Amino acid sequence: MSVTTVTAEPGHTEGLGDESSIWFKLSALQRGNEHNPMQTLMQLADRYGGVIPVNMGNQRVVFVTEPDHFKRVLVTKVDDYVKYFDGLKPIFGKSMITHDGALWQKIRMPQQPAFHPDMFAEYIPYFLTAIRAKMDLWAGLAKSGESFEMVEQTWTLAADMICKALFDRDMPFNPHVVFKCVKTYTDVMNHKAVRLKMVHGDGGEFELTEDDTAKAMAIWAGVPPDVMAADPNEGRERTLLTMIEAAVADPAIPEFDRQQAIDEIKQYLWAGTETTALTLAWALYEASKNPEIADRIRREGEQVYGDRDPTAADYGALAYTRAVIQETMRIYPPIWGLIRVATKDDEIGGKPIKVGDRVVLFAYGTHHSAKYWEDPEAFKPERFMGEAAKKRKPYTYIPLGGGKRSCIGGAMSQVENTLAISILLRRFRPEYVGVEPPGINATVTLTPKGGLQFKVHELG
Ligand code: HEM
């Protein structure tokens, strides 16, 4: 069954954020509620049940919204649904996140030990160094009273944490410049969406050119070689970077060449920063709007680690603060939809899936469904604590994906964000000063439209 037909502008040249890319096509589907485009998809999901086939030009995109469907695609039939990354090659190259099957496994295996929970205790001191540097910067912002954009702040923090903990390096690049490069790339998709709108007579103007994106991607491509060439901070033997270097030197994995290493670093500097940064920024927004949540986070920090540095054991005891991060990923899942391509005919929820169909696992829809969450729009961290958490139906919460392709760094990102929000809130009161409520932009990730504008105040 087809419910909508969207025809992209024909004959546009291949390129970044190209119109043939599903990311671009999805932006057209999301029109109708510019403030929160997810609402349009939610309405479609309500109207047509858990499986919604949509014809987009010559391509069929099937939205699935039920936990059982997620399990089928991510676990039961995982090998029949492959990754979809068109339009994102400049960001990810040929890194493992883009591969399937035996090659994916070969590339993931040598890197997996870097993300074992046993490593977190080793990483925490580096996370703390990065958080302290951010606090020094915020002290200046608090003094001057100037406002700033929070996602840029949390992105630079996440990038610093990854470089220090996983690569044993200080960032050998200007993180603000690199952040803007990545944004330029994703903005281009929006600008092409604007162009499509113009074709449809909705108005709008280009602000960026293909040249801007080419320049941005050239800077981005230069980052991994700079990371590899930079001096190590301490010469630690067991880091993600040394594991990647060992894989390059291992004749048993000829596919893991120098270009693979470069692309893996690229992948971590996007997948491990954008998502972590968005989560922390949205969590700080919620803490700013709900002072009782911020106070409870502060009290928990005082009780658990007091005036000393938090340890891995303390992280385990920060149950409420961790639940704040988990609830943030429910309400604002950075990866709002996981995309796959069907390699075999199948049936989901009684509806046929054909080879070549793009299947979108609509995580945001399920995270906001009243069928699975009581009062789904309310921010309630308690859902992730104690008995309430145990009662949750599997696959109703998939911010980190699921099955064998689930996020390699998800558990580590929760350590980073739980410690960051705990420590930052004990010294500062972040005040959200942007438009209320913030608008949502849904491209590859779910981002606040125009960012999240904040001021910070030092607590007495
Ligand atoms: C809040 C933080 C994060 C969120 C919400 C998140 C989300 C996700 C999701 C949903 C996937 C699966 C995508 C799919 O199946 O199509 C994924 C995969 C991945 N993530 Fe994360 N991620 C986070 C943090 C991190 C961190 C900190 C790292 C590394 C430093 C990381 C590295 C990766 C990699 C390499 C993959 C691909 C794994 C594979 O294909 O085997 N992520 N992430």
Nearest alpha carbon, ligand 1 atom 40: 97
| Closest ligand 1 atom number to CA of residue 278 | 1
Instruction: Please report, for the domain that includes residue 215, its CATH number.
Output: 1.10.630.10
Kindly state whether residue 147 falls inside one of the protein's structural domains: yes
pLDDT at position 201 = 33
| Closest ligand 1 atom number to CA of residue 158 | 27
Residue to probe by mutation, ligand 1, list 71, 105, 275, most atoms within 8 Å of CB: 275
- The residue segments making up the domain with residue 362 are 5-449
pLDDT at position 24 = 64
* Residues within 6 Å of ligand 1 by CB: 96-97, 108, 162, 267-268, 271-272, 275-276, 279, 329, 334-335, 338, 399-401, 405, 407-410, 412-413
Nearest alpha carbon, ligand 1 atom 18: 407
Kindly state whether residue 455 falls inside one of the protein's structural domains: no
Kindly state whether residue 151 falls inside one of the protein's structural domains: yes
The three-point CA angle 143-183-65 to 5° equals: 110
Q: Distance, CA 242 to ligand 1 centroid (Å)?
A: 20
pTM for the predicted model, two decimal places: 0.92
Kindly state whether residue 34 falls inside one of the protein's structural domains: yes
Q: Are 447 and 281 in contact (CB under 8 A)?
A: no
Kindly state whether residue 161 falls inside one of the protein's structural domains: yes
Kindly state whether residue 109 falls inside one of the protein's structural domains: yes
Q: Are 451 and 310 in contact (CB under 8 A)?
A: no
Kindly state whether residue 40 falls inside one of the protein's structural domains: yes
Residue to probe by mutation, ligand 1, list 407, 412, 414, 418, most atoms within 8 Å of CB: 407
- In 417-454, which positions are buried (b, 16+ CB within 10 angstroms) versus exposed (e)? bbbbbbbbbbebbbebebeeebebbbbbbbbbbebbbb
Kindly state whether residue 393 falls inside one of the protein's structural domains: yes
pLDDT at position 184 = 76
Mean pLDDT by 10 residues, the chain (460 residues): 30 41 65 78 83 84 94 98 83 91 96 97 98 98 98 97 98 90 69 41 42 80 94 97 98 96 95 96 98 98 98 98 98 96 96 95 96 96 93 96 97 98 98 95 88 96
H-state helical runs in 306-441: 312-317, 319-331, 363-367, 386-390, 410-427
| Closest ligand 1 atom number to CA of residue 413 | 27
Q: Are 88 and 444 in contact (CB under 8 A)?
A: yes
Q: How many domains does the chain have?
A: 1
Residues paired with residue 63 on neighbouring β-strands, in sequence order: 52, 360
Q: Are 327 and 379 in contact (CB under 8 A)?
A: yes
Q: Distance, CA 284 to ligand 1 centroid (Å)?
A: 21
